[in-house]
Amino acid sequence: MHSAPLELARITQDTWIDRVHFFDQIDSTNNAALAHAAKSTNPLAELFVTDQQSAGRGRGSNRWWSGEGSLTWSVLTPPLECSLSVLPQVSLTMGLAIISAVEQFIAGDVTLKWPNDVFLNEAKVSGILIELAGTTKRLVVGVGLNVNNTTRDAPEELRRTATSMIDVQSDPEMAFDRTAVLVACLQQIDQYLQRFLARDPQLPDEWRAHSLLTGRQIQITTPRGDITGTCDSIADDGALVVQTPAGTEHCYGGVVANFA
């Protein structure tokens, strides 16, 4: 579906972003943000956004489909006191930010799939990739969000597992204002990031309240091998707690290969 061009002036006017870098097409907004951080000395909050991403990255070797009408962006934060060890918690918290923004536009079951996906009505609508920008103490918050790109146009292998905002609204011919959606997401990213930096004790409870996997049978592929069991919860440190026949496992990384 055709979408109106992004109104870049609204972004700096209505959000915490100081500078916008727009690309008609790029391989990866996260790559652009990381490259910029390596040579930049300014402390600004900067946005890297594109209409078409050709090689979007997810966790590990995963790739992100960026169809026409989607939103794909990366925020390069000012320097923060964040270490590599807290990135899983940041990822879950940014998931809450995207959930909060999406819920402003549509009615649906919007949930958090550990460790870095947002689901809408049991299908993936958004993926998040958090990276540290070298030794700069700056975070890169990469987000892909399916907005006006109907998954009917997605690669065949994604059609059963992905969805978009346009696919679930009552009038599929009425396109969303992508600028308004992006502004809402950026505002929520700012609010939730500030809560995380302030060590808001309520955040882990919010991860758990929005967890898609809790109570489900799951299989996780980890460097130590596959783990199969029932998802019990998300721990305060961001680990997925899984009850297996051999006991309780705390998973700090891995890919959820299956869940039911």
Q: Per-residue confidence of the chain (260 residues) as pLDDT tens digits?
A: 567 889 999 999 999 999 999 999 999 999 999 999 999 988 999 999 999 877 655 544 455 566 889 999 999 999 998 888 999 999 999 999 999 999 999 999 999 999 999 999 999 999 999 999 988 899 999 999 999 998 877 777 777 889 999 999 878 778 999 999 999 999 999 999 999 999 999 999 999 999 999 999 999 998 889 999 999 999 999 999 999 999 999 999 899 999 99
Residues 171 and 239 in one domain: no
Distances 54 to 23, 29, 47, 60, 64 between C-alpha atoms, Å = 12, 10, 18, 17, 9
Place of tokens 């300014």: 42
Residues 81 and 98 in one domain: yes
Total count of domains within the chain: 2
Answer whether 203's CB lies under 8 Å from 241's CB. no
Rounded Cα gap, residues 134 and 55, in angstroms: 21
Q: Is residue 222 part of a domain?
A: yes
Residue 57's pLDDT is 52
**What is the side-by-side strand order in the sheet with 123-132?**
19-23, 46-50, 71-76, 139-145, 123-132, 117-120, 110-113
Domain CATH for 220: 2.30.30.100
Residues 38 and 152 in one domain: yes
Q: Is residue 3 part of a domain?
A: no
Residues 227 and 191 in one domain: no
Residues 177 and 248 in one domain: no
Q: Which domain holds residue 36?
A: 8-206
Residues 181 and 240 in one domain: no
Strand-pair partners of 218:
229, 259
Residues 83 and 187 in one domain: yes
Domain CATH for 37: 3.30.930.10
Identify the CA nearest to 68 among candidates 7, 152, 171, 182: 152
- Side chain identity at 166, as an amino acid letter? I
Residues 191 and 253 in one domain: no
Say if residue 49 is exposed, middle or buried (CB neighbours under 10 Å; 0-12, 13-18, 19+). buried
Residues 65 and 137 in one domain: yes
Residues 58 and 40 in one domain: yes
User: pTM here?
Assistant: 0.93
